[in-house]
Amino acid sequence: MIKYNIPISTYFKTVFKRVHEGKSPEEELIEMQTPSSDFDSFTKYLVINKFDNYDFDLFAENSLENQFKIYLKQVQSKMSILFFIGLFFPIGLCFIILFQLINVLFLLIFIPFFFSVLNLLFKKFIRNQNYLIGLINDFSRIERKKFEEFITILRSFASNLKSNISPEQAFLKSYNQNKNSISILKKPLKNQISNLINSSYPFRELIEFLKSELNSWRYIIILDAIKNFVDKNAYFSSEKIREILAIIYKHQKLGKKLEIVMKGEKFKIYFFIFLLPVITGAISGFFPFFTIIIHNLEFTGDILNLFFKNPPNLYSIGIIFIVLISSISITSYYFLKLIYNIRKFPFILGSNLIFILIFLISFINIINFI
């Protein structure tokens, strides 16, 4: 365990040191507390049963997987809270501005407040904090494709190791079996495969290259485990690799359930993104006239003449525009973030343009009506 490049390795180093100082290994293992409660429970179970007659089925599911299942059940309800605040905060601002309930300058304070609230809600309610090794959190097509190619090569590698050949030969054979079906990993692996063919490249160096090339905690953990398995026994490491793949497949099934939920919310999110600027734009078209009417309640003449005699303060209208466009942009940004949309700018720009267009239409219609 000390050789593995994972956080709990440091805890085992401490245990190893204390055992050398004369402490009881069993007591140290029972008292050991790592960041993983599941690992601690498993270690205590092994010690109590004297590393014999243990049942792995008792630990078939870990706490992270259970937490993720709870997250799946709650995510739609939590998204509804974000939708409510994201939609009704800008609309509420419209009515606050419309009826002159606060000073215009104070409106600028609402923008960082609104951003902070949505950011906090997203972190606490929506963002997945469960780092399952087989789960791609951002649903990126490229990242998912790369991970699928990696799994494909590992599956073939595990099967080839059963033929009782060297790890280098097993990996070379895996590459040749899958080189037509991989695209992202094909280029970085090509030069390394040439070195394997020339027998000038040990398997350990290939693992280190892949860790550096893939540069992700997910790949590093898996590759470190495989390196240690193969160092001990290349033939029996095949079963260990298959166990890792089984865990990955289980996590991917959970990930697909989350993806289905997010896809189901896509239409609603796109609808809200374009509905919000329509509502706020229509209401905000009344601002200039409400400002004049409220400040001249005793006036009984022509409102249109009053508008041209006492035009609204352009400074105030500018601040109102900035506040509303900012609030619409913040809402659009976090709504798009819910569904992992990477092209946020066109949607936010489109939403803002709709707001400006609806505002102008509303404003012109009021003038024509008067």
Render pLDDT for 207-217 as a digit per residue (tens, 0 to 9): 888 888 888 88
Query: Domain end: 234, 254, 274, which one?
Result: 254
C-alpha distance from residue 242 to each of 6, 99, 236 (Å)? 20, 66, 11
Q: How far apart are CA 172 and CA 166, in angstroms?
A: 10
Answer whether residue 4 is part of any domain.
no
**Burial class of residue 123 in the structure, from the number of CB atoms within 10 Å of its CB (0-12 exposed, 13-18 middle, 19+ buried):** exposed
Q: Which domain holds residue 52?
A: 9-58
Same domain, 250 and 261: no
Q: Do both 247 and 287 map to the same domain?
A: no
Shared domain for 277 and 335, answered yes or no, is yes
- Domain check: are 186 and 272 in the same one? no
Q: How confident is the model at residue 270 (pLDDT cuts 50, 70, 90)?
A: very high
pLDDT in the model for residue 116: 93
Specify the DSSP element, H or E, that contains 132: none
- Give the length of the chain: 370
Task: Tell me if 240 is assigned to some domain.
Answer: yes
- 272: Cβ contacts below 8 Å, ≥ 6 apart: 83, 86, 87, 331, 335
The answer to whether 321 touches 247, Cβ cutoff 8 Å, is: no
Same domain for 127 and 266, yes or no, is yes
User: pLDDT band for position 230 (50/70/90)?
Assistant: confident
CB 269 within 8 A of CB 331: no
**Alpha helix (H) residue ranges in the chain:** 9-20, 25-31, 37-48, 63-98, 107-121, 141-161, 167-178, 186-197, 203-214, 217-232, 237-284, 287-295, 303-309, 314-338, 344-369
Tell me, what DSSP letter sits at residue 310?
S
Query: What digits encode the pLDDT tens for the residues 56-105?
Result: 554 456 666 777 777 777 888 888 889 999 999 999 888 887 776 667 77
248 and 262 belong to one structural domain: no
The span from the CA of 114 to the CA of 87, in Å, is: 11
Tokens 């400006």 belong to residue: 356
- Look at residue 146 and tell me if it is in a domain: yes
Are 249 and 267 members of one domain? no
| pLDDT recorded at residue 8 | 59
pLDDT of 309 > 50? The answer is no
Domain tally, the chain: 3
In this prediction, residues 194-215 reach a mean pLDDT of 80
> Does residue 122 lie within any of the structural domains?
yes
Question: In a 10 Å sphere around its CB, with 0-12 CB exposed, 13-18 middle and 19+ buried, how is residue 314 labelled?
Answer: exposed
